[in-house]
Structure 1
């Protein structure tokens, strides 16, 4: 599932592509026809992101809410040589003056009101990528919870936008045992991790990929797959730790794969 930096990057990209334009919106697949009709021909005012949620704001106070889920993806195209025929199950197509984009496979693609946007955001914790983020609410939730920190970091109501890669890598970078209860976290420890998370996710927005390995620890070991980031622990089960050579361990925690070094994070 795309992590928060991907949605913020998409919001910036869609602003560059469509902001201020009267766009054409359709649903070639047919599952978003009413929603597409509601914004078709309207001015695309802005795009915004919060956590793993993307919002397209149109004139007339119309808003499209997108959650990519596990399989959602936007594919861009140019229109200078004509608009291409849709390929596959395109839920929503947006066409501007020079470029267009197709959305396939999202968990959510729906028209929402401002009140409904507020309801969505009220269910989420602070987003490290937003300038108005207040980490104190996340700290309050964590410090009072007996759930393990490895689970709390994936809870979008605690911190919005953190996915499995950032969860595993952040805990390793700060030598935190993912099985430690939130009640046993120190405030300074959380503060350092939050500051690091903000920087890591902003790098993800700028670079378009997740980068978590410090230069001094990057010895050229291969990534866990083609075009995948090099990581400390994520998807490296059984491989030697980059720092201490202990085999990386894995287990399923609340339905998601957890990775950690039993030596560095003891």
Structure 2
């Protein structure tokens, strides 16, 4: 089983690893696009106004441009520790046991606008590039990534659970992947799409899938596994809906254990 995660705009600073080595990253078939984008971002950083426009930043966010300028010299960190925010707080890989972290390393991958696909063993620097960014002189990121990234994802024989957001899934869709929507259910039975808070529930789901010893091979077995473990999911083909009581739509790490219902 492979669980595809979205990245986050926010990244943890610093790191203890050596500077970025593209040749050391997993999925080496993606190296040519990675190198092209890294080179373009570093060069773009020399022109802050153009960088702000391309990356959707304000002048108060010039620190993000400085991060891009240092892509080839900055320290690196494991990918699952580099990304931050609601989903990654709920995933909380630092708290996993050694065995759990090993399973997470084999089962989780992050869709990245800069690196295409990274796993926990990949050490990357902090950076700023979103799926919707348009870099001067280059095709769209979808045009750049779709051929190479689609080929890499097509080689995966395991069940794929795609938790990426729409813009990242569009970089390289995975036909037949299981997708997950989060809905909140009120006491009167009415339902609504969970927007911001869906990240916490997807992070919690990813944590479970990363660490379970079970190996579901299709959406039916996955649904059964999740329901046995307190995830109220419904299935429609390869689409799963996680239905969360409205009073459990929370995001904090301390409340994560209460989300199972």
- What TM-score comes out, normalization by structure 2 length? 0.30
Higher RCO, 1 vs 2 (CA within 8 Å, ≥6 residues apart): 2
Higher-strand-fraction structure: 1
Higher-helix-fraction structure: 2
Which structure has the bigger radius of gyration?
A: 1
